[in-house]
């Protein structure tokens, strides 16, 4: 289950490293098309993950998990063989659909296959894999892109998906099936509402946040979410009961998960270009440069349940958000320093993530009954992917706006919103004599973006802990 999770999450991070070769490759994508090549996987991932979890609850989690892995492999093959952008997007969408089937059902299989005494530790290990997947995706993606073209990156995912499906067939037990209706109307409304929301988020940096396209997407999303909520409140067996979000602890845990992935994938988005343009690292070295973040996730996550048992989830989450915010601020301060200091702050950021992921995963999983384990996994995955999309959109917007503003006058404003890496390359090509000034402008922009990310993590983390404290006090009053 851990390997399946690393595969689908790592595929998100690895494609960020492929932006420059894709832009210069035979497909000749426009800036908007390049953005959708990167994000269409995440969009389908986020939109379909809760319905896929519910499908696993009804049809069998092991079977849906295997089908998802095979869909992921098929989509990767289509993308690897793509001769035009349309085929590439179709492959990415197919792979994203497969990923949506994998993530929630991997957690559900794990929950049902683990005895109660070991379940909290198993959840902690699995949660760490969701963070480690992004780091390993950077390393594996860098290695593959160094060894060959961007097509090799996609082609390599296909055999991994097939091998994981075979391993699941041999190793994973079949769990009990539920008898709930699949609620196709609710699934369609939820998918369309999430798609509209992410469309607005993704197009915001390019179209402008006040444009008709973006405002229309957000408006449609609000209407569709409203229709979904009304229908689910009336349904005898809802796909995802909106009343669940009236539970403060669950609501706070979902917000916390979104914030963690906002900071992590917002950082991944700017770091790939920052390492290559700002420090002159190769693609492989760029992937390896984030490895200091992985040590806390590998070595420390399994100890987090014991910390929660001793100190409580609110104390652990307070520490996690404080350490994560401090790590982002430290990275901003170390942009012009040597890599060893930058690596130290990467380790600090990894410590904050390692504390947060197992704690939040357990909080969401424990808020729902075991027969809804697939929906619980889907809810966690949705908040993760929404956080990733929001992190890329918000941090990318800040990065682009600041970069354009600080470019030297002799370097034309070739930066296109939503296409920062290509913009840096074009600015450098257009003004080769201004290399230092262009790189300096990008580094200053990254400094601002990292500080914004830190403030978001610290502010939203304060809200999460405050609401969880309020929920605990209310529970004590009710019990007493």
367 compared with 76, residue with greater pLDDT: 76
pLDDT at 469: 86
pLDDT at 420: 40
Q: Is 330 helix (H, G, I), strand (E, B) or coil?
A: helix
Q: Give yes or no for a contact between 201 and 393, defined as CB atoms under 8 angstroms apart.
A: yes
Name the DSSP class of 29.
Answer: -
Condensed to tens digits (0 to 9), the pLDDT of residues 150-167 reads 899 999 999 999 999 999
Dist CA 42 CA 261 (whole Å):
13
Neighbours of 163 (CB within 10 A): 14
pLDDT at 122: 84
pLDDT at 421: 41
Q: Give yes or no for a contact between 400 and 205, defined as CB atoms under 8 angstroms apart.
A: yes
Is the pLDDT at 323 greater than 90, yes or no? yes
Condensed to tens digits (0 to 9), the pLDDT of residues 246-287 reads 878 788 888 999 999 899 888 887 887 788 777 888 888 888
Task: Evaluate the CA torsion angle 322, 328, 330, 332 in order and state its sign.
Answer: negative
The pTM of the full predicted model, rounded to 2 decimals, is: 0.79
pLDDT at 3: 92
pLDDT at 419: 41
Dist CA 75 CA 71 (whole Å):
6
Condensed to tens digits (0 to 9), the pLDDT of residues 332-377 reads 999 888 899 999 999 999 999 999 988 888 888 777 766 666 666 6
pLDDT at 409: 59
Is the pLDDT at 178 greater than 50, yes or no? yes
**If we measure between CA atoms, which residue out of 216, 215, 218, 225 comes closest to residue 188?**
225
290 compared with 30, residue with greater pLDDT: 290
Q: Which CATH architecture has domain 2-182+239-479?
A: Up-down Bundle (1.20)
| Range in 254-268, 388-402, 415-429, 444-458 the model is least confident about | 415-429
Is the pLDDT at 452 greater than 90, yes or no? yes
Q: Using H for helix, E for strand and C for coil, what is the string for 351-415?
A: HHHHHHHHHHHHHHHHCCCHHHHHHHHHHHHHHHHHHHHHHHHHHHHHHHHHHHHHCCCCCCCCC
Dist CA 134 CA 338 (whole Å):
24
| Range in 128-132, 179-183, 268-272 the model is least confident about | 179-183
Q: What number of helices (H) and strands (E) belong to the chain? A: 18, 0
């Amino acid at each position: 289950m851990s390997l399946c999770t690393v595969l689908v999450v790592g595929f998100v991070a690895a494609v960020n490293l492929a932006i420059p070769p894709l832009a210069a490759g035979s497909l000749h994508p426009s800036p908007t098309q390049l953005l959708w090549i990167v994000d269409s996987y995440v969009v389908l991932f986020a939109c379909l993950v809760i319905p896929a979890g519910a499908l696993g609850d009804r049809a069998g989690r092991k079977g849906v998990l295997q089908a998802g892995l095979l869909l992921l492999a098929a989509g990767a093959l289509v993308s690897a063989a793509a001769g035009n952008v349309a085929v590439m997007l179709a492959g990415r969408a197919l792979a994203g659909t497969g990923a949506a089937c994998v993530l929630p059902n991997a957690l559900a299989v794990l929950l049902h296959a683990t005895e109660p005494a070991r379940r909290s530790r198993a959840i902690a290990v699995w949660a760490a894999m969701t963070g480690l997947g992004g780091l390993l995706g950077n390393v594996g993606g860098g290695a593959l892109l160094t060894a060959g073209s961007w097509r090799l990156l996609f082609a390599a995912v296909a055999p991994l998906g097939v091998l994981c499906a075979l391993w699941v067939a041999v190793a994973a037990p079949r769990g009990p099936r539920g008898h709930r209706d699949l609620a196709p109307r609710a699934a369609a409304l939820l998918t369309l509402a999430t798609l509209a929301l992410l469309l607005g988020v993704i197009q915001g940096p390019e179209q402008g946040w006040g444009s008709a396209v973006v405002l229309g997407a957000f408006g449609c999303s609000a209407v569709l979410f409203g229709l979904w909520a009304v229908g689910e409140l009336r349904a005898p067996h809802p796909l995802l009961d909106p009343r669940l979000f009236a539970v403060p602890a669950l609501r706070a845990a979902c917000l916390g998960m979104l914030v963690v992935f906002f900071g992590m994938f917002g950082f991944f988005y700017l770091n790939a270009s920052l390492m290559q343009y700002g420090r002159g690292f190769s693609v492989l070295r760029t992937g390896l440069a984030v490895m200091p973040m992985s040590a806390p996730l590998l070595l420390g996550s399994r100890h987090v349940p014991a910390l929660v048992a001793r100190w409580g989830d609110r104390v652990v989450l307070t520490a996690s958000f404080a350490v994560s915010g401090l790590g982002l601020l430290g990275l901003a301060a170390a942009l012009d320093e040597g890599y060893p200091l930058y690596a130290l702050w990467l380790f600090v950021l990894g410590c904050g993530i390692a504390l947060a992921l197992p704690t939040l995963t357990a909080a969401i999983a424990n808020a729902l009954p075991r027969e809804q384990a697939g929906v619980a996994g889907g809810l966690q995955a949705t908040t993760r992917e929404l956080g990733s999309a929001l992190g890329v959109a918000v941090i990318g917007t800040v990065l682009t706006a600041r970069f354009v503003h600080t470019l030297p006058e002799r370097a034309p404003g070739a930066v296109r919103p939503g296409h920062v890496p290509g913009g840096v390359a074009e600015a450098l090509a257009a003004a080769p004599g201004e290399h230092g000034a262009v790189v300096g402008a990008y580094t200053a922009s990254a400094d601002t973006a990292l500080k914004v990310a830190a403030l978001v993590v610290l502010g939203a983390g304060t809200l999460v802990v405050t609401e969880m404290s309020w929920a605990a006090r209310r529970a004590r009053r009710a019990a007493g």
